[in-house]
Amino acid sequence: MRGTLSRITGIVIIALAMLSCNLSTVTAPEPTPTEANTPTPEDTATQALPPTFPPPIALPSATSIPPTETQTEIPTNTNTSTPEVLPPTETATSTIIPYDPNSTPTPPPTIPSGYNSATPHPYYTKTFTPPPVINRSPSSVTAVQFTPMMDGDWGDWPNAETPSGYVVFGLPNWKNSNDLNSSFKTAYDGNYLYFAVKVLDDVYSQNSTGNSLYLGDSVEILFDANLDGDYYSKSLSSDDFQIGISAGKKTIDGPKEAYLWYPTTIRGTISQILVASRYIEGGYELEAAIPWSVFGVTPYSGSHYGFALSVSDNDNPSKAAQDSMVSSASERRFLNPTTWGDLILQ
């Protein structure tokens, strides 16, 4: 009996030993990857470089903006900040016909028979029909066909004066009509556009010239030479003009000057513009003759142009400053020609 048990025990021991040898050669299975240990792109690749861009394009010079108090639009009548004064650029070309007070006035040509401007704005017909949608200033003035004496006195002018007393800049500095107010008349012939301005101003102060002319008592003309082509345009173009006129440096009897700020391609003093002025009670009168060649247009009776006349005031003779401005256009904004109003050649 004992012998039998010994043999069974030996067989079991041998079997267990053989099984142990077989198990030692089996490889353990790989663990299943989990979301936590799964590699990410940041761990397995070099981070992408930021995209490259071409060098920036050089922008136009800031001299494309004329140096007046309205280089940027004035949102309210309480703006009293001093505008940036830009350096002058090239002088106006000398192809403008000089004024000759002894010459025989050239009558303007008549409208060609059957001529009509591009639809929908027939501005160059004798009967003006406004466009169906009016989004421009309602200010309108008529220029009569007339050649004045150009002596600073508008007493020989046949037409009635037009008020230009809307305060469009420096309202806090404006005291009353004795401080600054104005009215004007317009006329034309085949060579010139004429202006006569009566200014009420209790202190005459003009110490500035050239590019800074507006920093003193002065008259400003805004003129859109192509009203037909950009009637609805609220931005400036090369056919929009800004001209400042000084009645005299230091005094009314001092040197006269006319300066063109816009278009900037012809910016500079325009000596061909004739200016005459004189003192009156409570202010001064000014007459100016601007050659049509300045604007590059041929005047026709019945034609329309964008237009506004404004007057700047400086109340302190010891400084150069623009304290306030009055205008013929109540909503005048230099950068928006639709606020300028309308000039009709009668």
The answer as to whether 162 is a domain residue is yes
Say yes or no to pLDDT of 265 above 50: yes
Kindly state the helix (H) or strand (E) to which residue 23 belongs, with its residue range. Answer: helix 2-23
Peptide bond into 263 cis (omega under 30): yes
Question: Which has more pLDDT, 104 or 245?
Answer: 245
Separation between Cα atoms, residue 260 and residue 244, nearest integer Å: 6
**pLDDT at position 320, please?**
94
SS3 338: helix
**pLDDT at position 164, please?**
94
**pLDDT at position 32, please?**
33
Say yes or no to pLDDT of 105 above 70: no
The answer as to whether 61 is a domain residue is no
- Looking up residue 326, the CATH number of its domain turns out to be 2.60.40.1190
Question: Which has more pLDDT, 206 or 75?
Answer: 206
In which domain, by residue range, is 325 found?
Answer: 140-345
Terminal Cα-to-Cα distance of the chain (whole angstroms): 149
The answer as to whether 279 is a domain residue is yes
The answer as to whether 119 is a domain residue is no
pLDDT in tens, 112-121: 444 344 333 3
| Cβ count near 159 (within 10 Å) | 16
Say yes or no to pLDDT of 22 above 60: no
Say yes or no to pLDDT of 17 above 70: no
Separation between Cα atoms, residue 241 and residue 270, nearest integer Å: 13
**pLDDT at position 135, please?**
58
Say yes or no to pLDDT of 35 above 90: no
The answer as to whether 334 is a domain residue is yes
Kindly state the helix (H) or strand (E) to which residue 13 belongs, with its residue range. Answer: helix 2-23
The answer as to whether 198 is a domain residue is yes
**pLDDT at position 113, please?**
44
Question: Which has more pLDDT, 58 or 304?
Answer: 304
**Alpha carbon distances (Å) from 51 to 48, 54:** 9, 10
Residue with tokens 């639809």: 119
265 touches 296 (CB < 8 A): no
Mean pLDDT along residues 205-223 = 96
- Closest by CA to 223, choosing from 303, 279, 148, 146, is 303
Mean pLDDT along residues 296-320 = 93
Greatest Cα pair distance, the chain, in angstroms, is 162
The answer as to whether 51 is a domain residue is no
Say yes or no to pLDDT of 155 above 60: yes
The answer as to whether 323 is a domain residue is yes
**pLDDT at position 14, please?**
52
Q: How many domains does the chain have?
A: 1
The answer to whether the predicted template modeling score (pTM) of the entire model surpasses 0.85 is no
Query: How would residue 218 be classed by pLDDT, with cut points 50, 70 and 90?
Result: very high
Say yes or no to pLDDT of 231 above 80: yes
Query: How would residue 13 be classed by pLDDT, with cut points 50, 70 and 90?
Result: low
Separation between Cα atoms, residue 307 and residue 341, nearest integer Å: 5
Query: How would residue 111 be classed by pLDDT, with cut points 50, 70 and 90?
Result: very low
pLDDT in tens, 158-173: 999 999 999 999 999 9
* 55 CA to centre of own chain: 28
**pLDDT at position 140, please?**
86
